[in-house]
A and B are shown apart, each in its own frame.
Chain A
Amino acid sequence: MSRVLVFSLLGYLLLALLGPLQHLLRMDMVVLDAPLVLVLYLAMAGKGGGLGGTRFSLATGGIDWTGGLVAVVLGYISDVLGGGMKGLHCLTLIIVFLLAQRAARKVYLAGTLPVMVVTLMASLVSSMTGLCIRWMSGIPPTLGSLTVLLAQAVLCAVCAPWLMHLCRVVDARLARASAEHRML
């Protein structure tokens, strides 16, 4: 449960920090989807937090619900802060989480580039899902919005290794605290 709280808080802080930063950098259209990278990390790393570095084990066992809950919380927060359709980002994050967790059982990732490719694909899936839902609710996509989504996917892919490294540091810190607690 503490992992859910910590990662939700981390995602919230990233959202709160990146909003003003991107505004200052005049990146109002292309936004770094930090919650997506966090959820992707949780889906790929599983309960154990991966193998360290940019290596992710083939997750075993059932679905790790930590990532699922974090996806719900972060999706909700980003929907509220973003001011868009409530539940949209939440749904796309959960879909990405479930797909990534499913894929993590069969794929072994090692190195920065594979992580970036997976993040790019995950971001595209998330964006396309969001686009489809918006289309179904009466907002048709434009060529401009597709370009923006592609740029956003690239940005997420570029930033993913650093964000995942941060997540791993947090995970390691949590694991150490848990071990110390057990020893006591």
Chain B
Amino acid sequence: MVVPRKSRDIVLCLALLAVPVLFLQSSLKSDSQLNPLDRVLLRVTAPIQAAVTGVFSGIHRGWRRYVYLVDVETENEKLMRENRELKARLQDARRNLGRMHHLEELLRFRTNRGVETVGLRVIGRDASPFVRVLRVKVDRGDKLLRTGLPVVTAEGLVGRIGQVYGAYSDVVLAVDPKSAVDVVIQRTGGRGMLRGIDGANRYTCRIDYLLRQEEVKGGDLVVTSGVAGVFPRDLPVGRISRVSRRTHGLYQEVEVTPVVEFSSLREMLVILAPPPPPALKSKQRAQPARGLLP
């Protein structure tokens, strides 16, 4: 029996359309159910797609990294500019952090020592190499300032107040040739007079009148004695950097490197009043004291 072509075509068209309709119907009934054929298809396809993704990713990476470099120069310049700005900011932040640490140290020093102080800020320094003087601005209470008051930082002794003019003042550094501070070698207890070295191209000083028999050596810490009541006692002044004993004479020559970095000084404290005396127990005798302590 010969089936007409038209009828055959219609039947086959309907058959073709029936297949997806059946799929759709089953799909609408049971949502996203995978049959074994689907699973096989997905399992076969997934590794192929993974491999293709790997290859295309490699090509894409290579293209972006080695070939397509159109905006790289501009981007590079932009990044370099940003880098410079960030470096400057970082430097500022580091400087501020250092300053904050320094201020914290000063605050701790004041709290630990229990002394009354006023803050000073360096605004300039004397240009002469023969004079070691800093110009400072007094933060507050400038009326309390007077010549001779000790100036310190958390590291140790800086010097004393020189001229006072309103809210400004001069600080004569401990390394100034005119300065004289009574000091003690902490390890041996030997005493001497600390003076600045005239004309030296760095911040150093010497100890005068230190007896020859004192067994001092390099690195020994030198502190204030407190005698004469100008400076509080036991303030670090410097470390012995050179010792020279002559065969004759009463005294030895000792050079001291200050513990305070004078070249980078920014903030310091001036001690207005010594700490209050400790309360004594009824039967306890007062310890022999030096300097400002009773």
- Interface of A, secondary structure class, is helix
- B20 near A94 (CB under 8 angstroms)? yes
- B24 near A98 (CB under 8 angstroms)? no
Considering the chains assembled together, what is the distance between the CA atoms of A90 and B16 in angstroms?
10
Q: Does residue B48 face the partner (Cβ distance < 8 Å to A)? A: yes
Considering the chains assembled together, what is the distance between the CA atoms of A47 and B79 in angstroms?
61
Contacts of A75 in B (CB 8 A): 20
Q: Does residue A77 face the partner (Cβ distance < 8 Å to B)? A: yes
Take A91-B20, A91-B24, A94-B17 as given contacts and tell me if A77 and B12 are in contact as well, using a CB distance cutoff of 8 Å.
no
Q: Does residue B125 face the partner (Cβ distance < 8 Å to A)? A: no
- A24 near B24 (CB under 8 angstroms)? no
- B20 near A77 (CB under 8 angstroms)? no
- A76 near B23 (CB under 8 angstroms)? yes
Query: Which one, A60-68, A111-119, A156-164, A165-173, is touching chain B?
Result: A60-68
Could you tell me which residues of chain B, from 9 to 68, have a CB within 8 Å of some CB in chain A? 9, 12-13, 16-17, 19-28, 32, 34, 38, 41-42, 45, 48-49, 52-53, 56-57, 60
- Cβ-closest chain A residue relative to B53: A20
Contacts of B24 in A (CB 8 A): 85-88, 91, 133
Range of interface residues on B (Cβ < 8 Å): 20 to 34
| Mask of A6-30 contacts with B, CB within 8 angstroms, 1/0 | 0000001001110111011000000
- Cβ-closest chain B residue relative to A20: B53
Q: Does residue B8 face the partner (Cβ distance < 8 Å to A)? A: yes
Q: Does residue A146 face the partner (Cβ distance < 8 Å to B)? A: no
Which of B19, B34, B42, B53 contacts A24 (CB under 8 A)?
B53
Contacts of B42 in A (CB 8 A): 80-81
Smallest CB separation, A14 vs chain B (Å): 11
Take A94-B16, A137-B28 as given contacts and tell me if A87 and B41 are in contact as well, using a CB distance cutoff of 8 Å.
no
Q: Does residue A151 face the partner (Cβ distance < 8 Å to B)? A: no
Which of B21, B22, B38, B57 contacts A80 (CB under 8 A)?
B38
Considering the chains assembled together, what is the distance between the CA atoms of A23 and B32 in angstroms?
23
Contacts of B28 in A (CB 8 A): 85, 137
- Total contacts A to B, CB within 8 angstroms? 84
Smallest CB separation, A119 vs chain B (Å): 21
Considering the chains assembled together, what is the distance between the CA atoms of A65 and B9 in angstroms?
10
- B56 near A68 (CB under 8 angstroms)? no
Contacts of A133 in B (CB 8 A): 24
- B49 near A98 (CB under 8 angstroms)? no
Which of B17, B19, B41 contacts A77 (CB under 8 A)?
B41
- B27 near A90 (CB under 8 angstroms)? no
- Cβ-closest chain A residue relative to B50: A20
Contacts of B38 in A (CB 8 A): 80
Considering the chains assembled together, what is the distance between the CA atoms of A63 and B38 in angstroms?
29
Considering the chains assembled together, what is the distance between the CA atoms of A63 and B45 in angstroms?
31
- A sample of 28 inter-chain contacts (CB < 8 A) reads A15-B45, A16-B45, A20-B53, A21-B56, A24-B57, A61-B5, A62-B5, A62-B9, A68-B16, A72-B19, A75-B20, A79-B23, A80-B38, A81-B41, A81-B42, A86-B24, A86-B26, A87-B20, A87-B24, A88-B27, A90-B19, A91-B17, A94-B16, A94-B17, A94-B20, A98-B16, A98-B17, A133-B24
Give the top 8 A-B pairs by smallest Cβ distance, nearest first.
A87-B23, A91-B20, A87-B24, A90-B20, A86-B27, A20-B53, A87-B20, A20-B52
A interface residues (Cβ-Cβ under 8 A, vs B):
12, 15-17, 19-21, 23-24, 61-63, 65, 68, 71-72, 75-77, 79-81, 83, 85-88, 90-91, 94-95, 97-98, 133, 137
Q: 8 new A-B pairs (CB below 8 Å) besides A20-B52, A87-B24?
A: A16-B52, A61-B5, A62-B9, A75-B20, A81-B45, A87-B21, A91-B21, A94-B20
